[in-house]
């Protein structure tokens, strides 16, 4: 594509032109023929790497002129185009470059504090089982659910998103199910994605280091539900913040609510659970349904209701949807059973609400003691640390506080802040070394006990400082059990 065509609104005083064969915002990934888009990011300022991009073969530069670094010199050998507020324009530029691939796809966005991964992952599975090519984008990667490729963020940046949609279109994929984080909505990463369905899970304490308060957090989530492109808005009627999402929905969009307690469109009439899964009786505008799901806990009932509602709204036959629900596999690291006698589960629960839900569920199933091994991430919302300690003290019999991803913080300080929420009388042990903490639980637990290892879920690393070290809760458990 010609540079003058791609950046037409900003090319008024630029006379030179060239052919652009790719878009890139990371100088380390520049290929000859790329347009390098340079702006200040959350971690680094891309404008400081312009010369590196030119050396790697960039044929043009689009840059944000605001607060331009004094020590950055623009090259004279290639076109350099100033684009005010480039970060917010990026989605539209990428959409044009890739010829709007989203118009060939049905994109469903899932937002909320907890449940996004399970819903988006299993929804993509379901579409695949129904015979439609489907892709997932989110916390645990992107692509076909059977062979996911890792991503840096829950919701990729605007360039990466449009590139992925372009790839999916070329692969014949029809359905895309993606997690939409509040950061992505606030930072305009998904501005040009034409979502057909939006799903709201819940809103609980998280990311207040970024949003500052729950009102801002809710407002960021509601951006997804104000989209003109939506056909369906699928909302958890039981969540206190559901009204904010519902009020954002345009008049032409069909609202479909789901829940257990409130009177909703898709409502649980009755449910029961054992260690292998749950039986759910559901009433909906499509009739009465008996569902069997391979998942534990009330929170997974909500996740399944969201998936069920989305599939019904997608015009699949209800009988077909009921059958497919029984075949869905859990997302990696989501209440994943690693061993029994004692039962050891790995879960991504890293918020107070998610930890509470997991522990409440396991309390209903335990025959012995319930252990929890967990920590909190460094350089993230500190307000939730003592709250998670308090949750653990109320619902677990044995608590081991350990390190999560400490990043640049001292892990012992994080452990101490979690411990502030735990009464002195609780059975609590502090072991900063995560493998040592897991080993202690395995050695001390009885056959009838349950051990929940929470916080990291699917992650195959532990970030200490800026380095990600190989570490998997699942692999550690398997290794220790074999000893």
Please give the annotated binding residues, written as ranges.
27, 112-118, 153-155, 181, 187, 189, 380, 404-407, 455, 459
Structure tokens at 13: 């005083």
Positions at the binding site for meso-2,6-diaminopimelate: 380, 404-407, 455, 459
Cβ-contact 349, 362 below 8 angstroms: no
In whole angstroms, what is the distance from residue 189 CA to residue 180 CA? 9
Q: If you search the block for the tokens 């589960």, which residue do you land on?
A: 345
- Separation of alpha carbons 291 and 277, rounded Å: 11
Give the annotated binding-site residues for ATP. 112-118
Give the CA count within 13 Å in the CB-facing half-sphere of 421.
22
Upper half-sphere CA count for residue 438 (Cβ side, 13 Å): 24
352-365 helix and 298-313 helix, angle to the nearest 10 degrees: 110
The CA–CA distances, whole Å, from 356 to 327, 388, 476 equal 27, 8, 24
Biggest CA-to-CA distance, the chain:
76
Q: What are the beta bridge partners of residue 438? A: none
Of 479, 145, 435, whose CA–CA distance to 339 is shortest? 479
111 CB neighbour count, 10 Å cutoff: 30
CA end-to-end distance (rounded Å), the chain: 59
CB proximity list for 88: less than 8 A, separation 6 or greater: 188, 191
Q: For residues 464 and 103, what is the distance between their CA atoms, to the nearest angstrom?
A: 41
């Amino acid at each position: 594509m010609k540079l003058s065509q791609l950046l037409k609104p900003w090319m008024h005083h630029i006379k030179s032109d060239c052919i652009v064969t790719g878009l890139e915002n990371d100088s380390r990934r520049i290929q000859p023929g790329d347009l390098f888009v340079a702006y200040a990011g959350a971690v680094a300022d891309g404008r400081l790497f312009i010369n590196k991009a030119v050396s790697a073969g960039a044929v043009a530069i689009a840059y944000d002129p605001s607060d331009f670094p004094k020590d950055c010199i623009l090259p004279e050998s290639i076109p350099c185009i100033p684009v005010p507020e480039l970060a917010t324009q990026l989605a539209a530029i990428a959409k044009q470059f890739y010829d709007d691939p989203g118009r060939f796809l049905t994109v469903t966005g899932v937002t909320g504090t907890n449940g996004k991964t399970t819903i988006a992952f299993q929804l993509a599975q379901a579409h695949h089982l129904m015979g439609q090519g489907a892709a997932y984008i989110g916390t645990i990667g992107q692509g076909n659910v059977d062979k996911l490729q890792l991503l840096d963020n829950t919701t990729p940046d605007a360039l990466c998103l449009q590139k992925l949609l372009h790839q999916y279109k070329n692969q014949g994929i029809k359905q895309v199910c993606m997690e939409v984080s509040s950061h992505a909505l606030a930072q305009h990463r998904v501005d040009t994605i034409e979502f057909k369905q939006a799903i709201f899970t819940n809103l609980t304490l998280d990311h207040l280091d970024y949003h500052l308060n729950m009102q801002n957090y809710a407002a960021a989530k509601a951006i997804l539900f104000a989209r003109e492109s939506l056909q369906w808005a699928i909302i958890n009627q039981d969540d206190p913040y559901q009204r904010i999402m519902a009020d954002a929905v345009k008049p032409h969009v069909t609202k479909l609510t789901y829940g257990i307690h409130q009177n909703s469109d898709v409502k649980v009439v009755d449910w029961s659970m054992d260690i292998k899964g749950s039986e759910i009786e559901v009433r909906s505008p499509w009739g009465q349904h008996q569902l069997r799901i391979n998942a534990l806990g009330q929170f997974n009932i909500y996740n399944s209701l969201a998936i069920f509602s989305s599939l019904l709204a997608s015009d699949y036959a209800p009988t077909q949807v009921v059958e497919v629900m029984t075949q869905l596999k859990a997302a990696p690291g989501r209440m994943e059973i690693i061993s029994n006698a004692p039962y050891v589960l790995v879960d991504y629960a890293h918020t107070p609400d998610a930890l509470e839900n997991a522990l409440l569920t396991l309390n209903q199933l335990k025959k012995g003691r319930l252990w929890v091994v967990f920590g909190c991430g460094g350089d993230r919302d500190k307000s939730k640390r003592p709250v998670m300690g308090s949750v653990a003290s109320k619902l677990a019999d044995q608590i081991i506080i350990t390190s999560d991803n400490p990043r640049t913080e001292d892990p012992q300080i994080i452990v101490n802040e979690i411990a502030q929420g735990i009464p002195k009388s609780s059975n609590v042990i502090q072991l900063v070394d995560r493998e040592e903490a897991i080993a202690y639980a395995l050695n001390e637990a009885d056959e009838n006990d349950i051990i929940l290892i929470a916080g990291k879920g699917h992650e195959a690393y532990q970030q200490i400082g800026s380095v990600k070290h190989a570490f998997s809760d699942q692999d550690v458990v398997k290794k220790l059990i074999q000893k």
